[in-house]
Structure 1
Amino acid sequence: MGVRGSVEVQVDTAWPVVMDISLEDQPVDNATVCRMTYHFKQNGNYSWYINNKKSMDSFDCKLIATNSPPNAFIPIYVTIGIFAAMAIFCILYKKMCNSGSINRFLNYLGMERVVSSDLGTPSNPVAEADSNSIQRPSRDKPKRLKSLDAFRGFSLVIMIFVNYGSGKYRSIFGHSPWNGLTVADLVFPWFIWIMGVSITMSFYALVRHGVSRRVIFTKILRRFVILFGLGIILDGGIDFSTFRVPGVLQRIAFSYLVVATVHLFAVKHKDEEYRIRHVVYRELRDLLDYWYEWIIMISFLALHICLTFFLPVPGCPTGYLGPGGPLVGENESLVNCTGGAANYIDKVILTYNHTYPRGTPRKIYQTTVPHDPEGILGTLTSIFMTFLGLQAGKIFHLFSYPRDRILRFLGWCVVTGVIAGALCGFSKEDGIIPVNKNLWSVSFILATASMAFFLLAIFYYLIDVQIWWTGVPFYFVGMNSIAVYCGSEVLGKYFPFCWEPVFNTHAELLAMNVIGASLWVLISYYMYAIDFFVKI
């Protein structure tokens, strides 16, 4: 750009942009005259004036907004308002029905006489219920934790919304380009964590009914094969030379196989009475009875850390955790180092032909090396994430009082959160092990587990303890999670779950993605209403 010249540049508004103006005829160390980091707003017009002062070594840099861009987050606020209004209406309607306000209102209007004259006297619902109970004896069913299904459904609805595009609000709902944490990064580890909770519930039920370990292990293998096979079908493609091996369901399958198998040989039929009398054992029996499980699972974390920091990667620094690419490092020394050891292991074992062909750091860091966020090395930490969910399930099984359960959930929330914060230095970039979903770092799984413990405590208190909330609508989705997930993956590119945008604005895209996710909520409700459940 010459003197008194100008140039127009279009920049991404999802993330802050670092701008640098340099002189061509100056040494590299002294070439920069203006450097600024700024987060531009969507549809905004800005002018950046660079004026040379009297001294050639001094420049005046000023950024001015030439228009007032609209708030790009207004569609989100409107959507939240609509759902909040619907929730309030449902709550008020339910309260009115329970209190008899509607019947009193109809009586006030004289509607009851009209209904009686047209349709006859309505029968007594209590009497009908009694007669039905006599004709059809009820079958006792084991009590199911609604909070767990609601939490599973909550995670899955967010996952579907994110997978469908999330209105292209990438800075909030998109995956982090590398280090850091967004809403999109939370739901998959939560889903794996919830699976760990479910393992405990199902195992104790099987053991209580006298099912042998051999039969249970057969069930574990069967579920592993089905989950892994579904993952290959959904993610793999049809070309055997390039089909993707890692994936969401594949990661879930391996995590389930390892944790369930280890727990199968550790699960106890019943507590020994003389040990329960001991105060320390009574309070810590969820840990003391399963100490060897902890040794096995911590060894997975140790293996992950050793491979990450000590495995030599050709052409890259040992222990490198960064995104690589031409913009990182000096003289493009890290251009092929994306993901460090995690990427190298996938390259050697699977080759890039059978991994995710792109990666979240590509757009920001201009990387050319593929990186699979569901790669082999991250499976080790996802196994530990599943095990932390298993720990929550043990709390449900071994401690009967809600207060004991909630306090332990909150305790684990604090412990895992503090350790995660210590590992990442309570910062995004400056820590021994940054929070990174692409690598499934140790700090990442501990941070997301901390949130999972906290949210389950909240869901459990609201739904199963106080019964202030039934878990609707997420409860329906959680009851049919595998069917909803597979259906959303297969039909996500078809109408009415998506369509070709007309205006391609945040408002239109958000409406389309919210409708797509909401339709699966309605479908799950219909499956629940007709008593249709898909189980593996």
Structure 2
Amino acid sequence: MSATLTATAPLPVKTTTAPRRVLSIDLLRGLTIALMILVNDPGDWARVFRPLDHAEWNGWTITDMVFPTFLFLVGAAMVYSLSARAARGNCRKSLAGHLFVRTGKLLLLAFVLDYFPRMHWTTLRFFGVIPRIAIVSLLAGLVLVATMQMRRQAWVVGGIVAVLLVGYWVLLRWVPVPGLGMPGRDIPFMGEWQNLAAWVDRGVVGWTQHWLHTGALYRKNSDPEGVLSTLPAVATTLLGALTGMWLRATRHDRSEISTATANVWMAAAGAAAVLLGELWSVWFPINKNLWTSSYVLVMAGWAVVLLALLSSLVDERRKPWPRWLNAATWPWFVFGSNAIAAYTTSVVLVKSALYFHIGRSTVWAWVYFHLFAPHHSDKLTSLAFAIAFVVVCFLPNWWLWHKKIFWKM
């Protein structure tokens, strides 16, 4: 074989057998998607426990950990899926093609969910959770495919992460916002709508409204899943990929490092990322809506720590597991096995319940105020409804799990 790999040449891989699944990734994914449904669907949005709601602007709550953790896990899992495809003889062109096809499927799903059930063309929102997953996984995946055969792939990917995070800080801090001025001088730095990311989002939606006669922003003047903040979101996914590389190297590439030692190093690296992010937040505040670089580091750091803890619990553990461990982990493995299906189920159920009526009340309001809050609504009744809704969304996934049907994009 030539020393220079072409776009159509099969990609050699370091291992001769496909690596086993990393259970900690599946487990954390399931916990994340369940928490995503929980925080998205309280019975009464006016009465929500503070930790189960997003920070209003700067700062973070446990709710703000959900989406970045999911993107982080997308990157970690992608290392394994791309390696497995390369082991089956897929070339770079084939791997890139798979990424584009997957992105197209996700974007189509996002369009269908946005269009359902009102079918109003003029109010479509092109940004959102699933579009961000689609675009970010595509860009991060292309980086991984391009660097797959580099000896120092992790260093190259780490360098790209650094460029994305520092570059995004420079854009928001030092680039004047057209028509508004210089951040920190003419306008507040990271104002809710007076920032470069919001200006770009307004420009994009203005274009779609003019030429496509549709388009909307989640916050009217900006969008938390907008265009410019995609850059640090890619960094979140690539940090997950770096963690996936570490897991693969220490679990499956005949590493002399024990699982316990690898987990200690992971937890230490995660703690360091959290501290670095908190330090950076002095100059670049932690902000989920803008997906700031400090936010990326803090959220990725916590994801690494959680993954290390779960890995010490389930990875490399011989079966049969103790009953308590099976009972404690089984629901999250079920959720994690069909994460997109679980999220899609929740969106369809919510939109249907808000669209259809029983008398003068929506199905959502009727169920909540008749079954959960017949006398008065408070934070406990709102939380009880959210937990019950998570259980309802779990049932279809349980059936898919039982039938060994796994919805893959």
Q: TM-score range by the shorter chain?
A: 0.7 to 0.9
1:175-234 Cα offsets, whole Å, 9 max, x none, are 111011112111000000000001101111112222222211111100111112222332
1:241 deviates by 3.6
CA distance in 2 between partners of 1:203 and 1:493 (Å): 35
1:308 deviates by 0.6
Task: Identify which range, 523-532 or 451-460, moves more after superposition.
Answer: 523-532
CA distance in 1 between partners of 2:401 and 2:18 (Å): 16
1:144 deviates by 1.9
CA distance in 2 between partners of 1:509 and 1:411 (Å): 37
- Kept in 1, the 8 Å contact 2:338–2:397? The answer is yes
Pair 1:340-2:195 in alignment: yes
Structure 1 pair 141–386 and aligned structure 2 pair: CA distance change class (3 A): closer
- Kept in 1, the 8 Å contact 2:154–2:245? The answer is no
Aligned position for 1:524: 397
Aligned position for 2:263: 406
Aligned position for 2:42: 165
| The structure with more strand, counted as a fraction of residues | 1
Aligned position for 1:226: 105
- Kept in 2, the 8 Å contact 1:497–1:513? The answer is no
CA distance in 2 between partners of 1:394 and 1:165 (Å): 37
Task: Identify which range, 341-350 or 300-309, moves more after superposition.
Answer: 300-309
1:250 deviates by 0.8
- Kept in 1, the 8 Å contact 2:110–2:131? The answer is yes
CA distance in 2 between partners of 1:444 and 1:169 (Å): 23
1:93-114 Cα offsets, whole Å, 9 max, x none, are xxxxxxxxxxxxxxxxxxxxxx
- Kept in 2, the 8 Å contact 1:166–1:510? The answer is yes
Of 28, 40, 45 in structure 2, the residue corresponding to residue 151 of structure 1 is: 28
What is the DSSP-based 3-state SS (H/G/I as helix, E as strand, rest coil) of the residue aligned with 2:54? Answer: coil
1:166 deviates by 6.7
Pair 1:423-2:287 in alignment: no
CA distance in 2 between partners of 1:199 and 1:255 (Å): 12
User: Which structure 2 residues correspond to residues 247-286 of structure 1 after superposition, within 5 A?
Assistant: 247-268=128-149
Aligned position for 1:244: 125
1:322 deviates by 3.9
1:497 deviates by 7.6
Of 340, 343, 348 in structure 2, the residue corresponding to residue 485 of structure 1 is: 343
Percent of aligned pairs sharing the same letter: 26
What is the DSSP-based 3-state SS (H/G/I as helix, E as strand, rest coil) of the residue aligned with 1:351? Answer: helix
Aligned position for 1:439: 290
CA distance in 2 between partners of 1:355 and 1:339 (Å): 20
What is the DSSP-based 3-state SS (H/G/I as helix, E as strand, rest coil) of the residue aligned with 1:399? Answer: helix
User: Which structure 2 residues correspond to residues 187-202 of structure 1 after superposition, within 5 A?
Assistant: 187-202=66-81
Task: Identify which range, 404-413 or 496-505, moves more after superposition.
Answer: 496-505
Aligned position for 2:332: 474
User: Which structure 2 residues correspond to residues 496-515 of structure 1 after superposition, within 5 A?
Assistant: 499-501=367-369, 502=374, 503-515=376-388
Instruction: Give the letter for the 1:410 counterpart.
Output: A
- Kept in 2, the 8 Å contact 1:433–1:442? The answer is yes
Pair 1:449-2:300 in alignment: yes
Of 179, 182, 205 in structure 2, the residue corresponding to residue 350 of structure 1 is: 205
What is the DSSP-based 3-state SS (H/G/I as helix, E as strand, rest coil) of the residue aligned with 1:234? Answer: helix
Structure 1 pair 302–355 and aligned structure 2 pair: CA distance change class (3 A): farther
User: Normalized against structure 1, the TM-score is what?
Assistant: 0.61
1:417 deviates by 1.1
CA distance in 1 between partners of 2:305 and 2:160 (Å): 25
**Larger relative CO (CA 8 A, sep 6+): 1 or 2?**
2
* Aligned residues: CA RMSD: 2.5
CA distance in 1 between partners of 2:65 and 2:49 (Å): 14
Of 310, 319, 329 in structure 1, the residue corresponding to residue 174 of structure 2 is: 310
Aligned position for 1:464: 315
Structure 1 pair 497–194 and aligned structure 2 pair: CA distance change class (3 A): farther
Structure 1 pair 355–453 and aligned structure 2 pair: CA distance change class (3 A): farther
1:268 deviates by 3.2
| The structure with more helix, counted as a fraction of residues | 2
What is the DSSP-based 3-state SS (H/G/I as helix, E as strand, rest coil) of the residue aligned with 1:473? Answer: helix
User: Which structure 2 residues correspond to residues 21-36 of structure 1 after superposition, within 5 A?
Assistant: none
Aligned position for 2:248: 397
CA distance in 1 between partners of 2:295 and 2:120 (Å): 33
Of 160, 175, 182 in structure 1, the residue corresponding to residue 61 of structure 2 is: 182
Structure 1 pair 304–236 and aligned structure 2 pair: CA distance change class (3 A): farther
Instruction: Give the letter for the 1:344 counterpart.
Output: W
- Kept in 1, the 8 Å contact 2:166–2:293? The answer is no
Pair 1:388-2:239 in alignment: yes
What is the DSSP-based 3-state SS (H/G/I as helix, E as strand, rest coil) of the residue aligned with 1:245? Answer: coil
1:412 deviates by 2.0
CA distance in 2 between partners of 1:437 and 1:404 (Å): 32
- Kept in 2, the 8 Å contact 1:316–1:340? The answer is no
What is the DSSP-based 3-state SS (H/G/I as helix, E as strand, rest coil) of the residue aligned with 2:90? Answer: coil
CA distance in 2 between partners of 1:263 and 1:141 (Å): 18
User: Which structure 2 residues correspond to residues 37-76 of structure 1 after superposition, within 5 A?
Assistant: none
What is the DSSP-based 3-state SS (H/G/I as helix, E as strand, rest coil) of the residue aligned with 1:492? Answer: helix
Task: Identify which range, 495-504 or 311-320, moves more after superposition.
Answer: 495-504
User: Normalized against structure 2, the TM-score is what?
Assistant: 0.79
Structure 1 pair 308–323 and aligned structure 2 pair: CA distance change class (3 A): closer
1:507 deviates by 2.8
1:256-307 Cα offsets, whole Å, 9 max, x none, are 11111111121139xxxxxxxxxxxxxxx8xx34333333333222331222
In the alignment of these two chains, the number of paired residues is 352
Instruction: Give the letter for the 2:388 counterpart.
Output: I
- Kept in 1, the 8 Å contact 2:42–2:385? The answer is no
1:141 deviates by 9.2
1:504 deviates by 2.3
Structure 1 pair 226–179 and aligned structure 2 pair: CA distance change class (3 A): same
- Kept in 1, the 8 Å contact 2:172–2:190? The answer is no
CA distance in 2 between partners of 1:509 and 1:435 (Å): 28
Structure 1 pair 252–224 and aligned structure 2 pair: CA distance change class (3 A): same
CA distance in 2 between partners of 1:177 and 1:249 (Å): 22
- Kept in 2, the 8 Å contact 1:477–1:524? The answer is yes
What is the DSSP-based 3-state SS (H/G/I as helix, E as strand, rest coil) of the residue aligned with 1:472? Answer: helix
